[in-house]
Amino acid sequence: MSEGVYYIYRPNEAALSDTLVFRSYTDNVYTGLETKNIAEVLGGFSQGVVFAPCYHVNTDQLKMIERPYKNVSISYKYGLKQNPDEEFANPGLTGAGQGCGGDPIGPCDLVTIPGYTKTGVMQAGLYPTGGVIFYTTGATYPDLTNYYQNNNLVPVTFNVTVQNYVKFVISYTNPAFINGVDMNFVISLTDGSIVWYLQADGSWAITPTEPGINYYSIRSQAGLTGSETITSKIVPSSGNITFRILAPSGTVENIVYTGISGKVFLDMGAQVGEIHTAIQTGEFSYVPDTIDVFNGDSSSSLYLGAIFKNDLTTLTTLWNRRGLAESVLASEFAASKPFLRIAVEELQRMYAQPYIKFEGSIGNYFNPLSLFTINLVEGRFMPVSLSYDLQANVCKAILTRISNTEIEMNYTLEPDYGETTKITIK
């Protein structure tokens, strides 16, 4: 940050020029290009303020040579949204209407529920205290051809990195004071050719049309207002989930639904993230600690830290550096890459050679957005740490020499299983 403005640039560019060109934005709106010269000289006090406005003071100057990196790794830690978006159009069953006359809670085959479509014959009604009452047929099992179906197909994903499961929360009132009532639902998943049905243990199975097998039944408590949660195991395939309400069964009693909510969650199993690694070839040995970050390109909006495009809906996948060609020395050459791949490759380039660092006290305050040349020391140096003593007018600083040397390197993307994950160095 300089003078209240953030400047974002590729440090490698500063190895070639004292002048950098930035895109300028105000309130996220592009306002044009800005050119800024960031050159500074670090010399001796005797050179004067014209030739060396920043100068060595005290006796703590050190020039250190540090080891080059064999590789750079960044781990994108996922994190999850614990309350993803509601998938159903009308989870509160609000706005239900009854087309039959007479007693408002009497059985009716002409009840409409916004967000649902009725198929076959379903006896229902409006309950005086709220919700929709569904009447039993008195049969041992519900008729699978008579149902109310939620109009929202729930999309789910299953692949190597994204594995969804679903939860449904059923809010109900059981008007019976003696018996529990079986609440029955058909929860099915199809990929367009195969149909799976949610089983009582949360698993998914391909089953024939047989009562008691291809629908989900859960017993309500007698005389209570409460809720039950249906949680599936990981879906077996990407596709769409259909939710249907069947007639209650198990007794001669009825059931009132006051809300039916559906949500999709992500299950990562033991995987907690992904590790992006850039490895340079050659006889190097030093491996720095893996950097943990919480933002990156992800394949699901359920990940916290997922980066979206301008429409705030579409997830990012690939990026390219502004007007800069990728070195052909990097294997798996690609013009467009995941954001974190670009990051590890850039860091590996910066630390590809023996790393020269200057540390010491500097007279006069200087802008953190500066690029130093130091008398009798080769190269350009960028501040990475700055502490200013206003009373003494002295900066305690660490400057690092910038390298723009292209190197041969490899890139890997691996799942992160926490402390058990070890990066294989080739």
- Which tokens go with 95? 């706005």
Which residue has better confidence, 17 or 332?
Answer: 17
For the chain, the maximum distance between any two Cα atoms, rounded to a whole number of angstroms, is 103
In angstroms, rounded to a whole number, what is the distance separating the alpha carbons of residues 379 and 15? 8
CA R_g for the chain = 32
Encode pLDDT of 372-386 as tens digits.
999 888 888 999 999
Going by C-alpha positions, the residue among 122, 131, 123 that lies closest to residue 107 is 123
Residue 418 makes CB contacts below 8 A (sequence gap 6+) with 270, 272
Task: pLDDT band for 278, please (50, 70, 90 cuts).
Answer: very high
| Range from 66-80, 195-209, 226-240 that averages highest in pLDDT | 226-240
Architecture of domain 97-266: Sandwich (2.60)
- Torsion sign over Cα 112, 118, 121, 126: negative
Encode pLDDT of 29-54 as tens digits.
889 999 999 999 998 888 877 788 89
pLDDT of residue 100: 85
* Distance, C-alpha 353 to centroid of its chain: 34
Task: pLDDT band for 105, please (50, 70, 90 cuts).
Answer: low
7 has a pLDDT exceeding 60:
yes
N-term to C-term CA, the chain: 38
Domain ranges, ordered by start, for the chain: 11-64+356-401, 71-81+270-351+407-420, 97-266
Could you write out the three-class secondary structure of the chain? Answer: CECCECCCCCHHHHCCCCEEEEEEEECCEEEEEEEEECEEEEECHHHHHHHCCEEEEEEEEEEEEECCCCEEEEEEECCECCCCCCCCCCCCCCCCEECCCCCCCCCECCEECCCEEEECCCCEEECCCCCEEECCCCCCCCCCCCEEEECCCEEECECCCCEEEEEEEEEEECCCCCCCCEEEEEEEEECCCCEEEECCCCCEECCCCCCCCCCEEEECCCCCEEEEEEECCCCCCCEEEEEEECCCECCCCCEEEEEEEEEEEECCCCCCEEEEEEEECCCCCCCCCCEEECCECCCCCCECCECECCCCCCECCCECCCCCCCCCCECCCCCCECHHHHHHHHHHHHCCCCEEEEEEEEECCCCCCCEEEECCEEEEEEEEEEEEECCCCEEEEEEEECCCCCCCEEEEEEEECHHHCCCCCC
Mean pLDDT rounded to a whole number for the chain: 86
Residue range 231-246: mean pLDDT, rounded: 95
Residue range 140-163: mean pLDDT, rounded: 90
Going by C-alpha positions, the residue among 421, 425, 402, 410 that lies closest to residue 17 is 402
94 has a pLDDT exceeding 60:
yes
Going by C-alpha positions, the residue among 152, 121, 117 that lies closest to residue 139 is 121
Nearest-10 Cα torsion for 245, 251, 252, 253: -60
pLDDT of residue 331: 52
In angstroms, rounded to a whole number, what is the distance separating the alpha carbons of residues 4 and 24? 13
pLDDT of residue 150: 96
In angstroms, rounded to a whole number, what is the distance separating the alpha carbons of residues 64 and 204? 61
74 has a pLDDT exceeding 90:
yes
Going by C-alpha positions, the residue among 90, 176, 184 that lies closest to residue 142 is 184
- Which tokens go with 79? 């994190």
Encode pLDDT of 251-271 as tens digits.
888 999 999 999 998 776 677
